[in-house]
Structure 1
């Protein structure tokens, strides 16, 4: 971290999409026939439906969207982009 970065706002880099958590998410989307919300992704991955799990999954979905791996068709609704 350089001197000009504020340590309060510095965040470590996001894990790459080949990280196991992202692989699980992509497997859910590979099997899905419709866009999904973070809660539905949690259910498909057999995670406890708790606010923390849903929020963490939503953040991962947003990261995948930023990278062009997923698309957010409307707020909170994610799908794989069409070729």
Structure 2
């Protein structure tokens, strides 16, 4: 006959084994999820860029599937004109950073949290990108777009700050 302590130890060992197995599954799923999020983000950015190029070219080309799929991941006010992709809307009263695509939202939040104006090379590592020339230039382009749309200001060349202080997000 097995003692009570031995039975409890056996159950504890079995529970520990199940926990370790589940933790390994979670680690595997987390890794797969991050990979899929990265792929999704790249596709979304590509779609946005193509839509902007089509719009810049006059919007009269064959936009194909881009113009046919107006997917919206974030709630956007009806007045914001969408051309088949999530774009950076012009800032207006009552609009929060929640309407921005993830990377733009991250940039605005980093700049808003800073004590003063920031350069692109300071922002890149804070949004999780390697501080290499390509990423810095890409981020600089996004910063310029945020300035054009009224989310940020560039009072000094290459130095970006929030266009307005106060509650930037509605989370």
What is the TM-score normalised by the length of structure 2? 0.40
Distance 2:140 2:117 in 1: 13
Residue 61 of structure 1 pairs with residue 103 of structure 2: no
Measured on the aligned residues, the alpha-carbon RMSD in Å equals 2.0
Q: Tell me the equivalent position of 1:49.
A: 131
Residue 11 of structure 1 pairs with residue 83 of structure 2: no
Q: Tell me the equivalent position of 1:29.
A: 111
Q: Segments of 4+ in structure 1 off by > 4 A?
A: none
Residue 75 of structure 1 pairs with residue 147 of structure 2: no
Compared CA separation, residues 16 and 49, structure 1 to 2 (3 A): same
Which runs of 5 or more structure 1 residues have no equivalent in the other structure? 1-9
Which runs of 5 or more structure 2 residues have no equivalent in the other structure? 1-51, 56-85, 90-99, 166-171
- Spell out, residue by residue over 1:7-34, the C-alpha distance to the aligned partner (whole angstroms, 9 max, x if none): xxx8145832611110110110121111
Distance 1:54 1:69 in 2: 19
Distance 2:129 2:54 in 1: 25
What is the TM-score normalised by the length of structure 1? 0.78
Q: Tell me the equivalent position of 2:121.
A: 39
